[in-house]
A and B are shown apart, each in its own frame.
Chain A
């Protein structure tokens, strides 16, 4: 598949990352498609007649949709794909609030989240599913409607291309707006550090669940946020105006880690109770490893 590599693509999908992702392709396709085909047959199947493209037949495709004319010419099985002919809509919600602008390593959480989103978009688009994306802080800053067009990746990347994360998170509003805007059942992938009002978050997620959307959370956290490995006197200035504190971090480390652990535990527990897939990723983790783990996790879910 030829991809026009744009500036944005280079920015979020560096060649080495793409190479790694490419190796994931088969597995990803298998996982995504299998799980889409088996569980999420589109209720809107066949409604569109607008031909978009041919796609090579893969096991599990509906044999009725094989283009026999093509077969007669080329002796290969191709499937005709139409505009609405998609199994799944994936909506990537990327947190663009100021708290995401933190990163002790080379990547901020925001960068990492956008990279993950781009990778997922690429994966989804590669298997001809439609993907939409939204970048939000207090409100949704940019919305890229779901589409499965090949060149849709450009649009997705452009939508994620805000200069930097800014603003505070108003997750309720964002999730409500998303829920309202999504007419079809979708897989909502929320990529965020979840540093917002937890109750509002889970109310919003609950709403999505009630609308029969599948919700996945990629909880992006920086190493320092999880390990708090600071020393020396430091002045911490809270992003999103959460206050400031001058302290000796080593002295507060244990208390911090305890509080962080509690937070993660609460998130994990509430996700589980709401049947929301949850995955904590560190920005130091390699992207492929993160995705691989994520997808493996999905397989695990599926097997169950």
Chain B
């Protein structure tokens, strides 16, 4: 009997009501059976009258009976609350309304008013809507999906009956708000896909959301998605679960120049704090946690102007080598999740730099080593001076970067290893001198796929200094592009650029055209380019067309040497191999790893941080969850010729809450290698300004969209599927009852009032 519910709000009334319809008939029959007996003399006149009137009486009585039955039926329909859909004929054919309920579970729904998060009220609104709709099973099919996982609906096009409600409500109640950011577009498009796949129904889309400005206003793609829903005839109700604009402060970024440092060496991180308030914020303080332990002392944060950002730099140094988890935490506010940010840093006992110098005395290498590592305790860098033989005899991977100075020519295997080193993230810097085999530089080093050298070398240009000793030779000074390495030269009133004097350098071949990706970082005053940067694979390459020592310039010696030292330290940071074992990833992007079969086995161990609730301060390590995963082989791409190896891949599940994830993989020898991934909430959800409903509702193409408050949306799921015919039925009942009375009067069933 559940099919009744698609037509009635109170289907329970229908069957008893249908029984009531037989009431007038039964009463009529009973009145025929229950009569008074009268013995009567003048029967002949009565029979005469009966004969004359019989046909008329029968017709009139049937009509009266019909009217009474109709009146009862109409009253029953009125009580059972008959519903007819706007497309009434569709409903008559048994079609139902398909409601797609989209629950916004983006990070901003975690906004709370001190007690409950908005998400909890959204869940309540959703529950109320579902409960209201469940009174009419079969009349409503529902699809429930959340905004962040629009491709995986909770239920798809199922009839909303008591059983489904019983199943669904606990699932919705136990669901948690995600930490992700998501545009409504995905949900709306998914809704459109569900609705257009389900033809012949009255489609309605409800979006239960906090209706933030950043999601809904001035978003052409949202308007387009809403418009697409309108084109398939769907009504869209945006159910707003909050109407309060809240102030929020968020850590927009937590960055460091690199994710690696050495023991005891200050590691600088920069936290960007954004004030989303309309008022200036002052007195803010931050806490820093390293490996879950709060550092003593709190960071005072200066006042932040409304709608502006502030970058706080803070130096940390680590006593122990290894990886460390760093968390930067602001005081709690309305949205706590964006007040914490995680990162990880790889602390090595020392940073190693390979300085290869093929010049006999290795004087240049001495200057560079001295610049990088006057004392390992100061810079944390250990510079190893070697000749080019080392390139083929030791693994290059442990070195942050490699200086290649005064190289005449390298054997092919060394070039191959260098290429590999660079493409996997290593950095090299060239300082060729006049021993260089320019042909080798110009050909072998520039072959396709191994462009280790950016330019075609020509001849060495030399400023004549043999002439008049009294006259100052026309030295060339460098002019640097704006680049972090050369920051010290480009700051205002910096003397170092003018103090650096070149008298020999390689000229670039006249016909050289810069390849794509090759940037000139500095030129001499004669406009000869002298420093180049380009990338190969994941690595960076710097090229100087001069030597690192003092044979061709005065750079390493006073008065130019301070600039030289700073430049090399910066170069080290710039070229430093990215530590691929420490990653920063925003929540929302899939956490996926891929590697060649020979590198690691297919066993992956995963340490997942438990989602941290607001007031919990438990030890992180204890609360971490452990998962063992199996990597799947990737299907080999027949078109890729470059990588003939089989590869394995694994996607980390349940990596959707913020915190530090540790992935452990094993080499073929069984040695573990950990990769630490800091997952942080997206900053796009921190702007809590509410959207302007009028902008959507008054959009000429969005007439089917209405924005409602949560309280008003309680009965939407039913009211929208059909128009209740209450007033029509009431009118009909009145008309039928009046007709019945008139007819009854006409049939003289009412005794006349005798005055």
Which A residues are within 8 Å of any B CB, using their own CB? 99-102, 109, 193, 195, 222, 225, 230-240, 242-256, 258-260, 263
Contacts and interface: CB of A to CB of B under 8 A. Distances in A.
Contacts of B36: 232-235
B747 interface: yes
A258 B44 contact: no
Given A250-B749, A255-B53, A235 B37 contact: yes
Nearest to A229: B751
B452 to A, nearest CB: 115
B39 A250 contact: no
Contacts of A99: 41-42
Interface string B22-46: 0000000001101111111111111
B749 A248 contact: yes
A239 B42 CA distance: 8
B5 to A, nearest CB: 41
B748 A243 contact: no
Nearest to B53: A255
6 contacts: A100-B41, A225-B42, A235-B35, A238-B39, A249-B46, A251-B747
A249 B36 CA distance: 11
B46 A237 contact: no
A233 B42 contact: no
Contacts of B44: 195, 242, 259
B594 interface: no
Interface in B123-169: none
B49 interface: yes
Interface in B40-62: 40-50, 52-53, 57, 60
Contacts of A245: 43, 46-47, 50
B751 A239 contact: no
A256 B48 CA distance: 7
Contact of A255 (B39, B52, B60): B52
10 A-B pairs with least C-beta separation: A255-B49, A238-B43, A259-B45, A99-B41, A242-B43, A250-B748, A102-B41, A256-B49, A236-B40, A252-B49
B32 A233 contact: yes
A233 B42 CA distance: 17
Contact of B45 (A109, A244, A263): A263
A163 B597 CA distance: 127
Nearest to A252: B49
A238 B34 contact: no
Given A253-B49, A256-B48, 6 more contacts: A222-B41, A225-B41, A233-B35, A233-B36, A237-B40, A259-B48
What DSSP secondary structure best describes chain A's contact surface? mixed
A232 B37 CA distance: 11
B697 to A, nearest CB: 62
A255 B37 contact: no
Contacts of B31: 233
Given A232-B36, A233-B34, A235-B36, A251 B53 contact: yes
Contact of A246 (B35, B47, B49, B748): B35
A102 B46 CA distance: 15
A239 B38 CA distance: 10
Contacts of A232: 35-36
A230 B38 CA distance: 10
Contacts of B46: 236, 245, 247, 249, 252, 256
A247 to B, nearest CB: 6
Interface in B728-755: 747-749, 751
A234 B49 contact: no
Contacts of A248: 57, 747, 749
Contacts of A222: 41
Interface in B292-323: none
A250 B751 contact: yes
A233 B31 CA distance: 7
Given A233-B31, A250-B747, A255 B48 contact: yes
A195 B47 CA distance: 14
Contacts of B57: 248, 251-252
Contact of A238 (B32, B40, B747, B748): B40
A259 to B, nearest CB: 4
Nearest to A103: B41
B52 to A, nearest CB: 5
A237 B38 contact: yes
A268 B753 CA distance: 32
Nearest to B57: A251
B709 to A, nearest CB: 60
Contacts of A263: 45
Nearest to A165: B41
B59 to A, nearest CB: 12
A222 B39 CA distance: 13
Given A246-B32, A246-B35, A255-B48, A236 B43 contact: yes
A255 B39 CA distance: 19
Contacts of B35: 232-235, 246
Given A235-B36, A248-B749, A255 B42 contact: no
A211 B47 CA distance: 37
A225 B49 CA distance: 13
A263 B45 CA distance: 9
Given A233-B34, A234-B35, A234-B36, A253 B41 contact: no
